[in-house]
Amino acid sequence: MKLFNLKNIIFLFVLGITVASCSRKVTRVDIDEQIDLSGKWNDTDSKMTSEKLTEQMTSEQWLADFLQAHNGNKPVMIVGFVKNKSHEHIESETFIKDIERNLILKQKVRVVQGGEKREQLRLERADQQDNSSVSTMKKWGLEVGADFMMQGSINSTVDQMGKKKVVEYQINLELTNMETNEIVWVGAEKIKKYIKR
The answer to pTM > 0.75 is yes
Can you tell me the distance from the alpha carbon of 178 to that of 195, in angstroms, rounded to the nearest whole number?
42
pLDDT at 170 over 70: yes
Contact 110, 181 (CB under 8 A): no
Q: What is the pLDDT of residue 38?
A: 79
With a CB cutoff of 8 Å and minimum separation 6, the contacts of 90 are 41, 84, 154
- Mean of pLDDT over the chain: 88
Contact 98, 167 (CB under 8 A): no
Can you tell me the distance from the alpha carbon of 96 to that of 84, in angstroms, rounded to the nearest whole number?
12
Q: What is the pLDDT of residue 19?
A: 60
Q: What is the pLDDT of residue 188?
A: 96
Can you tell me the distance from the alpha carbon of 197 to that of 65, in angstroms, rounded to the nearest whole number?
50
Across 5-22, average pLDDT:
68
**What top-level class would CATH report for the domain 39-132+143-196?**
alpha beta
